[in-house]
Amino acid sequence: MEAFLSSLVSVAFHGLAYGMILYVISVGLAVTMGLMGFANLAHGVFAMAGGYILTSSLQHTSIPFPAALVLAFVAVAAGSVVLERLLYARLYSAGELEQVLFTIGLIFMAVAVARLIFGTLQAPVILPDYIKGQYALFGREFPTYRVFLIAVSGVMIAALWFGVERTRWGAMVRAAVDNRAMAQSVGINTRRLFTLTFALGSGLAGLGGALGAEIVAIQPTYPLEQLVFYLIVVAVGGQGSLRGPLVAALLIGFSDTALKYWLPQFGAFFIYVATIALLLWRPMGLFGRRV
């Protein structure tokens, strides 16, 4: 019994950590796709860029780890503004198929460029000592980096929720997404608003890629390989909300971990079965709104 309880604690912790990893790498997409309604499959490109910024700056400069995380956010957000003005903005009113084709093309280009610049090998993450090793809590030991990840994600979730639900900016974004023409006619500069929101989503993607780099290795094919996980989180969570992807990520994190622990021979495909079942049950996602 004690062994079972102790494994239950482990599964709960690792499930939470895995859910947070999934959320962290997908949260940027929850903003661009979930909030703005743009099917940005190239989300992983921004995450990969953030990851490379983190790994390169830790490897070649002496800036501390938290500063490298901030740098990943800021640099990716700034870079995305250029892309948004040049490319994305033209496709806001286009259909989903055009958006998907366009962003898939971006992925292939980014994969080739990353291979040219960084080579094909994975980029090493040099962590500072204070987030390495194990962390003792209630007489059990937990991996320190995952504790750190859960804490940072918690702060990020709170800040994002507050920003979207409780600030004037959040209200303007929600208004502009629901009815852009009406929002414009009441004097909201939707063009600037969308640029800023897109920058936020991309910055979060960069931050997620950087935070997750220790667990989900950064290498040129990252945007393609992780794509399925972002899409699962956002699709299961449902478009148009920030709460949905969080619940979806946690649900998948917990159940996937539990199954891999207790029934490892089925662990491989559970996440996909769960996705299919959930979407059959609720085609719009857990918290999706009919648009």
| Positions in the binding site for another protein (CB under 8 A) | 3, 7, 10-11, 14, 17-18, 21, 111, 115, 120-126, 133-134, 141, 143, 145-146, 214-217, 219, 221, 224-226, 229, 256-258, 260-261, 264-265, 267-269
Query: Quick one: 4 or 281, whose CB is closer to another protein?
Result: 4
Min dist CB 117 to another protein, Å, is 14
Min dist CB 275 to another protein, Å, is 14
Query: Quick one: 123 or 193, whose CB is closer to another protein?
Result: 123
Query: Quick one: 115 or 166, whose CB is closer to another protein?
Result: 115
Min dist CB 158 to another protein, Å, is 24
How far is the C-alpha of 100 from the C-alpha of 41, rounded, in Å? 6
Query: Quick one: 92 or 118, whose CB is closer to another protein?
Result: 118
Min dist CB 49 to another protein, Å, is 18
How far is the C-alpha of 196 from the C-alpha of 204, rounded, in Å? 12
Query: Quick one: 102 or 229, whose CB is closer to another protein?
Result: 229
Min dist CB 110 to another protein, Å, is 13
Min dist CB 147 to another protein, Å, is 10
Query: Quick one: 122 or 184, whose CB is closer to another protein?
Result: 122
In angstroms, what CA-CA distances link 155 with 108, 149, 245, 279? Answer: 33, 10, 16, 29
